[in-house]
C-alpha cells in the first residue's frame, strides 16, 4: 500500500513523527512525503520536493504565489501516476486543502490532520469568518479528520463535523533517541522550542527570564526557532540586558541535545494542541510548564 503525506515546510523531526505511524502498521509499504526540502532519511519513505529555483525565487511574495500553484499541481500529477491508497495533508491550510481537493479530483481518500488548537481552524487572518468557513468545508469534505485531543474534536463536532470521521492521532515519539541520559548535565533552566510568533509567545518567555533574573543572576534560557518575531526577540534580549541569560539559536533541525540539557520546557502558547516537542522533551527528562 502506498500513502502520500503532505507536510510542506513542517520541521524535519515533526515530519518523521507524522509518517512513522503509517509505516508501523505493517500495511503501508511506501510513503511519499511531499515536503519543500528533503528531510531526515526514513526506511520506507521517499521525499517529493520542490525544485530549487522555486524555493529560492525572489521576490518572496512571487515565490509564495507560485508555490501555492505548483504544490497542488505536483500532488495531482503524482496522485494520477501512482494512485495512492490515501493522501494525508498535515495542517489545514494549505496542505489539508490541497489533499482534500486533489482527493476529490482523483477519487482518492483524503485525511486532514489538525495539529494545532482551535485557532488553526478560526485562524488569525483578516476576514476570519471566511477562513473558518473554508476550513470547516474542507473538514466536512475530506474522508477522515485527525486531531490531537478532545478540545479540538469537541469544537469540530459542535460545528457540524461528524464525530465518527474524527480520530485522535498525535504522531510518534522516537524514544530510542529522545530519552533521558544520566551523563548529560542539565545546565539550561528554561527551553523554548517553536515558531517565533505572537501565538506561541516567545516574548512571554523573556518576561519570565526577567522576573527570575531579578531573584537569581544564574538563570539560563535557550530559545530555538524562527519566525516573524525573531528580530524583535533578538532586540528585546539586547534592550533588557539579557545577553548573558538567553541564547537565541534560530531553527534547529534536531533539538534532541537541547531537550536533554534542559530542566524545563516552557510552552506559553495562546492556543495549542498536544505539542510533539513537549512529549519529546518529557522523554528526555524535561519538565513541561504550560500556559492554561
pLDDT confidence of residue 22: 97
Backbone φ, ψ for residue 149 (5° rounding) = 170, -175
pLDDT confidence of residue 222: 98
Q: In CATH terms, is domain 188-290 a member of 3.40.30.10?
A: no
pLDDT for residue 207 is more than 90:
yes
In the block, residue with C-alpha cell 513523527? 17
pLDDT confidence of residue 116: 87
Backbone φ, ψ for residue 8 (5° rounding) = 65, -115
Domain segments of the chain: what residues? 2-168, 188-290
Query: Taking Cα atoms as reference points, which of 6, 35, 209 lies closest to residue 115?
Result: 6
Question: What SS3 class is residue 168?
Answer: strand
Q: Are 125 and 145 in contact (CB under 8 A)?
A: no
**pTM to 2 decimals?**
0.89
Condensed to tens digits (0 to 9), the pLDDT of residues 5-46 reads 999 999 999 999 999 999 999 999 999 999 999 999 999 999
Which of the following CATH numbers is that of domain 2-168: 2.50.20.10, 3.40.50.2000, 3.30.420.40, 3.90.1280.10?
A: 3.40.50.2000
CA atoms within 13 A on the CB side of 144: 15
pLDDT confidence of residue 179: 95
Per CATH, 2-168 and 188-290 having the same topology is answered: yes
Complete DSSP assignment for 72-115: HHHHHHHHHHH--SEEEEESIIIIIHHHHHHHHHHT--EEEE--
Q: Are 276 and 18 in contact (CB under 8 A)?
A: no
Cα dihedral sign for 33, 95, 271, 144? Answer: negative
CA atoms within 13 A on the CB side of 201: 16
Strand-by-strand arrangement of the 287-290 sheet:
246-250, 221-224, 188-193, 262-267, 287-290
pLDDT confidence of residue 25: 95
CA atoms within 13 A on the CB side of 63: 12
Condensed to tens digits (0 to 9), the pLDDT of residues 35-66 reads 999 999 999 999 999 999 999 999 989 999 99
- Which CA distances in Å does 217 have to 52, 184, 211, 212? 46, 23, 10, 8
Question: What band does 292 get if pLDDT is binned at 50, 70 and 90?
Answer: low
Q: Are 72 and 64 in contact (CB under 8 A)?
A: no
Amino acid at each position: 500500500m502506498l500513502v502520500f503525506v503532505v507536510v510542506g515546510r513542517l520541521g524535519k523531526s515533526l515530519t518523521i513523527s507524522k509518517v512513522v505511524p503509517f509505516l508501523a502498521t505493517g500495511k503501508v509499504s511506501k510513503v511519499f512525503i511531499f515536503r519543500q526540502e528533503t528531510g531526515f532519511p526514513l526506511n520506507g519513505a521517499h521525499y517529493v520536493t520542490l525544485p530549487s529555483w522555486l524555493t529560492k525565487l525572489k521576490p518572496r511574495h512571487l515565490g509564495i504565489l507560485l508555490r501555492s500553484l505548483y504544490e497542488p499541481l505536483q500532488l495531482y500529477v503524482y496522485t494520477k501516476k501512482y494512485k495512492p491508497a490515501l493522501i494525508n495533508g498535515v495542517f489545514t491550510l494549505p496542505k489539508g486543502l490541497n489533499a482534500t481537493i486533489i482527493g476529490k479530483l482523483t477519487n482518492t481518500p483524503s485525511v486532514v490532520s489538525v495539529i494545532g488548537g482551535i485557532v488553526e481552524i478560526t485562524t488569525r487572518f483578516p476576514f476570519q469568518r471566511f477562513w473558518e468557513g473554508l476550513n470547516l468545508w474542507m473538514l466536512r469534505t475530506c474522508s477522515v479528520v485527525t486531531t490531537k485531543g478532545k478540545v479540538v474534536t469537541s469544537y469540530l463536532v459542535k460545528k457540524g463535523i461528524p464525530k465518527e470521521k474524527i480520530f485522535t492521532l498525535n504522531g510518534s515519539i522516537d524514544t530510542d533517541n529522545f530519552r533521558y541520559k544520566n551523563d548529560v548535565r542539565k545546565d539550561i533552566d528554561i527551553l523554548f522550542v517553536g515558531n517565533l510568533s505572537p501565538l506561541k509567545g516567545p516574548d512571554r518567555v523573556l518576561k519570565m527570564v526577567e522576573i527570575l533574573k531579578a531573584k537569581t543572576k544564574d538563570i539560563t534560557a535557550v530559545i530555538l526557532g524562527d519566525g516573524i518575531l525573531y528580530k524583535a526577540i533578538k532586540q528585546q534580549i539586547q534592550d533588557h540586558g539579557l545577553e548573558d541569560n538567553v541564547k537565541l539559536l534560530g531553527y534547529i533541525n534536531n533539538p534532541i541535545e537541547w531537550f536533554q540539557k534542559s530542566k524545563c520546557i516552557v510552552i506559553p502558547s495562546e492556543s495549542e494542541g498536544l505539542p510533539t516537542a513537549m512529549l519529546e522533551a518529557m522523554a528526555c527528562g524535561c519538565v513541561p510548564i504550560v500556559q492554561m
